């Protein structure tokens, strides 16, 4: 049990992250807070706190994945309930931060949804945000409160090394936007880096153009922050095999897996897809190719450090 620094520490969870929150509590030797989240007959979300949070350091674990708006509304109402119940500090623990992709005006008259969500979270009463692998790191600047953006790459790297590092390994960035994290992983394995140069004519439609780097006869490990519809990863894997790769493994932090993703992954040339549990996968998405790795220990340590006022920067090393 954590020594009391501020008010008593309490961890609550919305409906989207129950399993992860329980795993985090197990790591910290804490009981998950009693909270009831349901629906009124007209579909409105109802929240009922079942225990006192007065003066407490409250952590609310809730990913804003599908159904995004329902999960976001749950999080906002839980934050508001804690604020109105006189919680000391409120940290929104959002393993997967929905709307992070809408971080700029791509076209005239577009909203900047990530900024709007940041404003709403602060208005609701969040004093801090703890998340992982924001799609755009600039989203941190949309907040006027501390934001800790943890990295999933070290967790994936440790898991792969623990299971046996593949021989003749090449780390592959599926696009130019993932080069920084892919280069960081390549340095961990002391492996070469390759990049897939692609063209995206429209959202969720990808046309592979070229593979930059030598992948012939090598085991290719593709790293991305998320897999949504699966088009980028699956077409990228196909291009790597056509360029002579021996095997292609994919890994990502967020398994969004929307639309045709499961069918695409099942029928792809990928031998394995390693994902973190920032998003809970239902049984229909747990195919043999997908391997889930828990990040409960990372969030548990981050929560402990936030509560005890220790630097979170250690988790970035």
Residue 198 bears catalytic tag: yes
Neighbours of 184 (CB within 10 A): 16
Give the integer Cα–Cα distance in Å for 153 and 48.
36
> What is the C-alpha separation between 135 and 277, in angstroms, rounded?
16
SS3 label, residue 13: strand
Please classify residue 71 by burial: count the beta carbons closer than 10 Å to its beta carbon, then call 0-12 exposed, 13-18 middle and 19+ buried: buried
Q: Which of 83, 188, 198, 314 is catalytic?
A: 198
3-state secondary structure of 104: coil
Q: Which of 180, 182, 150 is nearest to 169 (CA)?
A: 182
Residues in the chain: 317
**Distance, C-alpha 36 to centroid of its chain:** 24
Q: Are 270 and 250 contacting, i.e. CB atoms less than 8 angstroms apart?
A: yes
Catalytic residues: 198
């Amino acid at each position: 049990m954590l020594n009391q620094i501020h008010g008593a520490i309490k961890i609550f969870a919305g409906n989207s992250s129950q399993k992860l929150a329980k795993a985090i509590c197990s790591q910290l030797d804490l009981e998950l807070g009693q909270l009831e989240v349901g629906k009124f007959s007209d579909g409105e979300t109802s929240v009922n706190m079942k225990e006192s949070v007065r003066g407490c350091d409250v952590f609310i674990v809730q990913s804003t994945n599908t159904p995004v708006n329902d999960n976001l509304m749950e999080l906002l109402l839980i934050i508001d309930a804690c604020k109105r119940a006189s919680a000391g500090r409120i940290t929104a623990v959002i393993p997967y931060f929905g709307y992070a992709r809408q971080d700029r005006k791509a076209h005239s008259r577009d909203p900047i949804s990530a900024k709007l969500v940041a404003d709403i979270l602060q208005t609701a009463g969040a004093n801090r945000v703890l998340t992982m692998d924001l799609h755009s790191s600039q989203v941190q600047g949309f907040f006027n409160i501390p934001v800790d953006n943890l990295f999933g790459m070290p967790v994936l790297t440790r898991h792969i090394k623990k299971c046996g590092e593949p021989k003749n390994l090449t780390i592959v960035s599926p696009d130019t936007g993932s080069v920084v994290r892919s280069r960081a992983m390549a340095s961990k394995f002391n492996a070469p880096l390759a990049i897939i140069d692609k063209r995206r004519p429209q959202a969720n439609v990808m046309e592979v153009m070229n593979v930059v780097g030598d992948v012939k006869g090598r085991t290719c490990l593709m790293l991305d922050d998320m897999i949504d519809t699966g088009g980028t990863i699956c077409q990228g894997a196909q291009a790597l095999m056509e360029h002579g790769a021996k095997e292609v493994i994919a890994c990502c932090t967020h398994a969004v897996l929307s639309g045709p993703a499961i069918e695409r992954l099942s029928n792809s040339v990928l031998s394995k897809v390693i994902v973190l549990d920032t998003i809970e996968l239902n049984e229909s998405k747990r195919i043999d190719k997908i391997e889930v790795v828990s990040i409960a220990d990372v969030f548990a340590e981050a929560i402990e450090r936030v509560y005890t006022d220790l630097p979170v920067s250690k988790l970035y090393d």
